[in-house]
Structure 1
Amino acid sequence: MSDAPETDPESNSELEGETLGGARPDPSTDASKDPADWVTGDEPMTGPQRSYLDTLAREAGETLPADLTKAEASEHIDRLQQKTGRGTS
């Protein structure tokens, strides 16, 4: 009998091998989907997106509409990270 907790092998199969807290991949070589192609991209932005975007916009001296979609928020976050130097290592 093993002391390891029982887990469903299918429950986290997509996350296997991923880590948190490490260096972020170079976005110019990232093969992830374009936010415009996200299935949920037209849904309202999430709470965390809104909060982070508010911080970035303040730092950049910009104002943005509060009714952005997830995809639009992601694109603004990427742009404002470049402008403010946040999120770059």
Structure 2
Amino acid sequence: MSKAQSAPTNPKTDPKDVSNQIKDPDQWTTGGEPMTGAQASYLKTLSEEAKEPGAFDPDLDKAEASKRIDALRKESGKEG
């Protein structure tokens, strides 16, 4: 590469590229798919710790599970 040419920029470090920012679960292209095994396990654990067994629903999709996990984490102080 000559000095006149610049190295290609990394799109993940470009401040104008927002593709790597956290998206709202409602905007996920796969949000309507069934929740993952990891989500199910974590949601079940959080539900039990919060003494809210009704918070766990095995039929939630990925986006709904993510939102419920966030809410339970916030309630329990495990946020962040």
TM > 0.5 between the two? yes
Q: What is the CA-CA distance between 1:36 and the residue it aligns to?
A: 0.5
Structure 1's unaligned 5+ residue stretches are 1-12, 18-30
Report the counterpart of residue 35 of structure 1 in structure 2: 25
- With structure 1 as the length reference, what TM-score do the two structures score? 0.61
**Following the alignment from structure 1 to structure 2, what is the Cα–Cα distance between the partners of residues 85 and 49?**
18
- With structure 2 as the length reference, what TM-score do the two structures score? 0.68
**Following the alignment from structure 1 to structure 2, what is the Cα–Cα distance between the partners of residues 87 and 66?**
23
Structure 1 position 86 matched with structure 2 position 78: yes
Q: Deviations over 1:26-52 (max 9, x none)?
A: xxxxx5210011000000000000000
Structure 1 position 65 matched with structure 2 position 57: yes
Report the counterpart of residue 7 of structure 2 in structure 1: none
**Following the alignment from structure 1 to structure 2, what is the Cα–Cα distance between the partners of residues 38 and 46?**
14
Determine helix, strand or coil for the equivalent of 1:58: helix
Aligned positions, number:
62
**Following the alignment from structure 1 to structure 2, what is the Cα–Cα distance between the partners of residues 70 and 42?**
6
CA RMSD of superposed structures (Å) = 1.9
Percent of aligned positions that are identical: 50
Structure 2's unaligned 5+ residue stretches are 1-9, 14-20
